[in-house]
Amino acid sequence: MIAALLAVLLAPAPAAARSRRRAPPPPEPTMTIVSRAIQPGELLLVVAQDNSARLPPRATLRGRPLEFFPTASTGTWLAFAALDLDAPLGPAGLRATLRDARGRSFSRVEDLTVTSATFRTKFLPGPTRPSPAERAEAELDKLHDLFSADEPKPLFDGNFVAPIAHARAAGFGARRVAGRHALAPRSGEIIAARRGAPVRAPQAGRVAMAGTLYFSGRTVVIDHGLGLTTVYTHLSRVLVKKDDLVRRGQIIGRVGATGRVPGRARLFWAVRLSGARVDPGSLTALDLDAFLHPRPADALRRSPDCAREDLPPPTRWGRARAGLRARLRPLKAAYAPGERVSLLIELQNVSRRNLFLDFVRDAAARPVVLGLNGPPVPFSALASSATTRVRTEQVKIPPRRALCFSQDMDASGPLIAGAAPSYALVYATDNLYASTSTARPGIWRGRVSCPAAAVSVSTQDADSFVPFGEAP
């Protein structure tokens, strides 16, 4: 009898029970390409999804490596790829190595075919020696090579827009022939505008050059990071200086007719990606906001984990301040040592009227208002302050509703399992406003906190964890 009982207790668990203990494998990563066309002068957006959040993809287009950067969605990475104005037609292989959440490697190949593009050709009377227009193109080539600073991080944070809104732009790729001499194709767009019209930065970046050149006249070059630069020439006035950090929509100069250009006022603007000449229209056509600032179906639920029912119990709500209270919980019952910890944070409106909150979109900049085991820090103290902007969005929180989002880092960097046994939340908006006068009326201001949430660390294999709430 005893022997039979021992045999039952020592027998291996049924396969069904073992399968419940092991989490399902993560989905295989995918790669897609977004562009207007696969033609010379086009900018392509390579999108990798369900990739590891820690290990960026590796890819090449015709042997040239691509630089990936993360998006607002965990596991989604983006990279620009350029087909130069003189790119050869025919096959163009895009080869990539992606990794899933467990680090497993997957090879992906996209067999692209570069088709011909139609560019206008204009025949000019005149001598066969290089014209001022051709010399201006050569000057522009040197300009991009000289002032592209190879910023390793993206300085832009969303869609690019034209430097002059609602103005007609044309001329990219136009071929000109003077006598028997073929001039360099036009590597940018010409925008006709009145003299003195404002020229605005199409996206955030750093001014790499602001000055006067012989052919281009008063010129501004903006480095947007990852080898992406834009240039603006023939300006009547330059309103920025070298190394200025500019934001999207900021006026950087005014339209003019300086340099070797006909008397009519115009703006010439061009885009380069690591030296490749691309149509500015192909850049402004990309919907980067869809990846960098996706709009949730519910504006109060900023993470898919907000809808999960298998999460560990939350902490008690903290004391309400000015109608707002907070609580948090870890997303997993137990983490492996060294694993990245993610916390779910809820800010609930307990008043009888709507509350409006300036919500910081970027998780890397969120420690300005959110402290874990410490108070929030001023923006100037963040390690990423040189390249990250504090972008806020006004969120309306109706009575008894809560703003919910996840956070896996504080001012010192990622939250790592084992570094702290628990995390206490402090949420305060003081650092968003330089003084009382800069706070917008009607926006919640204050400081809330809640009890600490314990983070369990297990030495077991992470794949053997039983999901919280599921029977072993």
Tens-place pLDDT, residues 36-54: 899 999 999 999 999 998 8
Region label for 101, one of left (φ > 0), alpha (ψ between -120 and 50) or beta (otherwise):
alpha
How many other CB atoms sit within 10 Å of the CB of residue 73? Answer: 14
Between CA 107 and CA 115, with CA 112 as vertex, the angle to 5 degrees is: 170
CA distance 311 to 299: 21
Residue 255 scores a pLDDT above 70: yes
pLDDT in tens, 405-440: 999 988 888 899 888 899 999 999 888 765 433 455
- The pLDDT value recorded for residue 433 is 67
**String of DSSP letters for 346-369:** EEEE-SSS-EEEEEE--TTTGGGT
In this structure, what DSSP letter does residue 243 have? T
Residue 233 has pLDDT above 70, yes or no: yes
Model confidence at 230, in pLDDT bands (50, 70, 90)?
A: very high
Architecture of the structural domain at 121-291: Distorted Sandwich (2.70)
Q: What is the pLDDT of the chain when averaged over all its residues? A: 83
Quick count: other Cβ atoms within 10 Å of Cβ 129?
A: 9
Out of 2.60.40, 3.30.230, 1.10.3470, 3.30.200, select the CATH number for domain 304-464: 2.60.40
DSSP SS3 for 143? helix
For 394, residues 6+ apart whose C-beta sits below 8 A from its C-beta are 356, 357, 358, 359, 443
**pLDDT greater than 80 at residue 256:** yes
Look up the CATH number of domain 30-116.
2.60.40.10
Over residues 293-346, the pLDDT tens digits come to: 777 678 899 888 898 888 898 989 999 999 999 999 999 989 988 888 999 999
pLDDT at 17: 47
Region 344-351 average pLDDT = 96
Which residues does 437 contact at the CB level (< 8 Å), separation at least 6? none
Radius of gyration (Cα) for the chain, nearest Å? Answer: 27
Which regions of 193-301 does DSSP assign to beta strands (E)? 198-200, 205-213, 217-225, 228-238, 245-246, 251-255, 266-273, 276-278
383-387: long-range contacts at Cβ-Cβ below 8 A with a sequence spacing of 24 or more?
383/411, 383/413, 387/151, 387/153, 387/154, 387/155, 387/225
What are the boundaries of each domain within the chain? 30-116, 121-291, 304-464
Equal fold, 30-116 vs 304-464: yes
pLDDT at 164: 92
Q: What is the tens place of the pLDDT at every residue in 432-453? A: 765 433 455 678 989 999 999 9
80 or 394, greater pLDDT: 80
pTM above 0.75, yes or no: no
Residue 461 has pLDDT above 80, yes or no: no
State both tokens at 424.
Answer: 């206490």
What is the model's pLDDT at position 179? Answer: 65
Q: SS3 of 304, please?
A: helix
